[in-house]
Structure 1
Amino acid sequence: MNETHAWFAPFAPRPPETPPDDPLLERAFARIADSDLREGNAVSLLRNAEENYPAWLDALQKAERVIHFENYIIADDKTGRNFARVLMERARAGVRVRVLYDWLGSYTRASRRFWQDLRDAGVEVRVFNPLRLTNPFFLRRNHRKLITVDGCIGFVSGLCISDSWEGGRSGDPWRDTGLSLAGPIVADLDAAFAESWAFAGAPLKRDECIAASDIPSVGTVNARVVSGQPGMFRAYRVDQFIAATAKRNLWIADAYLVPTTAYVQALGEAAQDGVDVRLLVPGSTDTPMLQPFVRAGYRSLIEAGVRVFEWNGAMLHAKSAVVDGRWARVGSTNLNLASWATNWELDVIVEDKTIAEAMEATYLEDLMQATEVAPGSITRRRQTLNARARRSRRARRGAVGRLAAGAVALGSSIGRGSGGLRSLTSTEAGSVATIGSILIALAVLVVVFPPIVVLPITILLGWLGAALLIRSLRLKQRIRITRRKLERRYRSASTKWNKISSRPP
């Protein structure tokens, strides 16, 4: 047994689990995710660009009929040009290639020439939600990372198309996770692509979307697609549901953690109920302004019993979770309101022990390269109070529950001895100081240069007002056109009726 599995050993004793075919659990999951469970799939776990990119390129090169390629960032760099070359080759060979990129994600990363070269080669290229006068809600982005080929194989991940994932200038590749999928689940991936493709232009024809029942089984893995859209909160409901049903462990990796109070409470309640809840987040990030606010939220998590680890590599970009050695989630959704409420996102939930156990092993390997944020003295006192409440609840459960909780506690102590530690107090002090400095700077800015603050708000309000007026005019124009069509039909019908009625009997 290697070192990683030795660390995992304390989690081996598992309490009785809900049967995988529990109809009530499946019905609840299907309603919350608004997605059916697909059986008979083959699923592989892919780690980082070194495993994802070659698998993607290999599948693209073998395409014979159609390629659907959707990503938040497609950069005009070495990686982007490599993918563009393959896509153009397949388009020239007669393959129907559709590429959908997000305007905001790719705006500064690829030139017009880059997209024009793709179009000239026969690739159908669409831009998602570009900046327009009539659309002030440009912050609603397509954050999905999806590829399907010939309706037979698909890929879902957190990786974009950019040199950053392969190391870029720093030479240290970003940590990310993806899935390779084959079987009936690919029909749901194509359906998700059709949703966002239609938002950017004319929809796909019905006969171009294959049904899941028409795709033969190729494996034994059960999986479902969670297709996030603005205002739907599907992924948010799923994350809450998973936190509520976890029994043994809930291990999460997230790149941009800014959770809601309700989700923090859900994680805390699971931890207080004996579940081993862990969060792996970036130690350094590509959005430095966000980091102080992320770290400022550690205290509420740690006080509730959630263990927080910071990745020591260049950037942790994965959005994944593994639960009870049974469920695994991989995709594009981050644990923040932008992903849950305003973006188009895409995740796959896999219900398979082999995949879940592989993700657990990978997670533990990642923790060996992470630093745990350890609670301070005040937090420990609060945890003692929480522990008393937990003990009173566990006393009503019986010996099995106490045994499982003991295994988790042992694992926690071993985990703390296997990696580095950083004080929550020192981490929080730096974050609070940064946030305080930002607020003071903003206050000074408002006093010294009030137009700088007022002008953007004025522009935004004027933009919103103009967009609403333009929309109102378009709606009125649509009403007039519809009314004219109805009047023409009415006159035509009246003329025909008059001709018929005027005929001699």
Structure 2
Amino acid sequence: MEHVEQRVARFARQTITRSLVAYTVVPLVAASVITAADHWKKRSQSRKATFPHTAPKHSTIGESTTTIYTFGVELYEEMIAAIEAAEHHVYLETYIWKGDGLGQRFKDALIAASERGVSVHVVYDGFANLVVPRKFFEFPPEIQVLRFPVFRPQVLLLDIKHSGRDHRKILVVDDEVGFVGGYNLGSLYATQWRDTHLRITGPAVWELSSAFQEFWNLNRTTEVRALPSPGTTHWEPGFQAARNAPVRRVYPIRNLYLEAVRRATSHVYLTQAYFIPDRELLAVIVSAARRGVDVRVIVPEASNHVLTDWLSRGLYSQLLRAGVTIWLYRNAMVHAKTATVDGLWTTIGTANIDRLSLSGNYEINMAIYDATLAAQMEEIFEVDLSNCRQLHLEEWERRSPVARLGEKLLAPLSPLL
């Protein structure tokens, strides 16, 4: 009898071990195959992106002003002009900074500002720029540079709060003008990607200055001087910068989305580069659609990260059956991270609706409560819809068995992305 029990126990252990291996290995193999196939497909279909975009849209909110940019060329010229006009200090933080012609223009503008006595502080993510020569990020000693590390040893101890990247994109000049949004720095993004960025002047710039100072002081090395981080006597109630800080386990951006969608009674318009909502956020979106809210989601028809496309598609059936309309952006990568709700509330920022952004990376989203700006965002959304095709439930239900299998095989990877 004891011999039989040992055999049963051994069989159970082997079964569990094999199941765990299959659960881990099969999704990774599927991901490798899909990524390789997508790589070769895009190489053979290389073409110039084309998409409609709007002129910069201006508004006044309290004592501050805003400008929304949807085309990189126009945004970058304004950013460089702001640096060239700097008199006191410049804060620049970015995720990707290409060492191309446009990237060099930003570098030259920062060096020139420093040479005329402006205090310049720069933050860039080391991992995101591994393909950029380190020499590009060599600056004169007067410029303070913080390279967010590629790897932090705490990860080896499974301390996940040290695993996030610095995915933020901020520029602040003299505490008088600030920029935030989805645009990285590079020539590709100037004309080939559809993204959204916000320019702010006036008292609300404090939201971005404070965010940069806090990040700098939290992550600086002993060789780098701390920045003063004063408060403000002027509160601009229509603006709020939500800042994800993994090391402190603070993730307010997710709550922004949850509370805004819960409040919705008319419409929710989401534009997302990578759309993989977690269980609670998905439930809130589905609930809104089922109670009659017009929920529309714009996502890339084919993004630059094929695995996120597949993981997102795994949620389409549930969304479409609930009445959410899904719009596939064509002929270009849409990289915006925006939402507007009921013609009153808007968010523009750096965070995607996925696990990495909402509970992993350093991110910043500006939330703005203003009907005029919300109306501008709705106009932009309508222009973007003109470059989309709607995905209907009937079409989606006819997808191939291979596609369905791929979605199921990749599902275990969704917590990683």
- Equivalent residue number for residue 77 of structure 1: 100
Give the corresponding residue for 1:113: 135
Aligned 8 A contact 1:152 1:183 in 2: yes
1:323 to 341, 347, 355: 341
Matches within 5 A, 1:28-39: 39=62
In structure 1, what is the Cα distance between the partners aligned to 2:264 and 2:400? 29
What is the deviation of 1:115?
Answer: 1.2
Larger Rg: 1
Q: Counterparts in 2 of 1:334-373, with a 5 A limit?
A: 334-373=352-391
The match for 2:182 among 139, 151, 158 is 158
User: Given residue 220 of structure 2, which amino acid in structure 1 is its aligned partner?
Assistant: A
- The one-letter code matched in structure 1 to 2:304 is D
Q: CA deviation at 1:67?
A: 0.3
Superposition RMSD in Å: 2.4
Q: Secondary structure at the match of 1:126?
A: strand
2:69 counterpart SS class: strand
Say yes or no: does 1:43 pair with 2:63: no
SS of the residue corresponding to residue 194 of structure 1 reads helix
Q: Kindly provide the amino acid, as one letter, of the partner of residue 403 in structure 2.
A: S
Q: Deviations over 1:347-370 (max 9, x none)?
A: 101111111101101101101100
Change (3 A) 1:325 1:437: closer
For 1:124 and 1:213, locate their aligned partners in 2 and report how far apart those are by CA, in whole Å.
Answer: 28
- Paired position in structure 1 for 2:216: 197
Mark the CA change 1:134 to 1:313 in structure 2 (over 3 Å): closer, same or farther. Answer: same
- Separation in 2, partners of 1:429, 1:372: 22
Q: Per-residue CA shift, 1:306-328, capped at 9, x if unaligned?
A: 11111002201000001111111
Query: 1:248 Cα deviation (Å)?
Result: 0.9
Q: Decide whether aligned partners of structure 1 residues 249 and 429 sit closer, same or farther in structure 2, where only a CA change above 3 A counts.
A: farther
Given candidates 216, 225, 235, the residue that maps to 2:241 is 225
SS in 2 for 1:212: coil
1:424 and 2:399 aligned: no
From the superposition, tell whether residues 236 and 437 of structure 1 become closer, same or farther in structure 2 (CA, over 3 Å): closer
Give the 5 Å matches for 1:382-461. Answer: 423-427=395-399, 429=401, 431-435=403-407
Shift of 1:129: 3.0
Corresponding letter in the other structure for 1:143:
H
Give me the whole-angstrom Cα distance separating, in 1, the residues matched to 2:400 and 2:239. 39
TM-fit CA distance, 1:430: 5.6
Counterpart for residue 181 of structure 1: 200
CA contact (8 A) 2:216 2:226 kept: no
Task: Measure, in 2, the Cα distance between the counterparts of 1:107 and 1:114.
Answer: 11
- Measure how far apart 1:178 and its partner are: 0.7
2:281 corresponding residue in structure 1 = 263
- Residue of structure 1 in register with 2:259 after alignment: 241
The one-letter code matched in structure 2 to 1:162 is: G
SS at match of 2:194: coil
Which amino acid in the other structure matches residue 140 of structure 1? Answer: G
Aligned to 2:296: 278
- Which stretch of structure 1 is more off in the superposition, 236-245 or 40-49? 40-49
8 Å CA contact 2:286–2:319 kept in 1: the answer is yes
Number of residues paired by the alignment?
Answer: 345
Q: Structure 1 residues 430, 39: CA separation in 2 closer, same or farther (over 3 Å shift)?
A: farther
Whole-Å Cα distance in 1 between the matches of residues 230 and 401 of structure 2?
Answer: 55
Q: Within 5 A, what are the aligned runs for 1:82-97?
A: 82-97=105-120
Query: Whole-Å Cα distance in 1 between the matches of residues 349 and 221 of structure 2?
Result: 25
> Of 330, 336, 341, which residue of structure 2 is paired with 1:312?
330
What is the rounded CA distance, in whole Å, between the counterparts of 1:290 and 1:178 in structure 2? 22
Secondary structure of 1:42's counterpart equals strand
Letter of the structure 2 residue corresponding to residue 85 of structure 1: D
Give 1 or 2: higher helix fraction: 1
Q: What is the match of residue 232 of structure 2? A: 212
Q: Which of these residues, 56, 65, 70, is aligned with residue 79 of structure 2?
A: 56
Q: Secondary structure at the match of 2:348?
A: strand
> Would the aligned equivalents of 2:152 and 2:163 in 1 still touch at CA under 8 Å?
no
- Does the CA-based 8 Å contact 1:278-1:309 persist in structure 2? yes
Whole-angstrom CA distance in 2 between matches of 1:354 and 1:429:
46
| 5+ residue gaps, structure 1 | 5-37, 168-172, 377-422, 443-505
Q: Give the structure 2 partner of residue 25 of structure 1.
A: none
The TM-score, its normalising length taken from structure 1, stands at 0.65
CA displacement at 1:210 relative to structure 2: 4.2
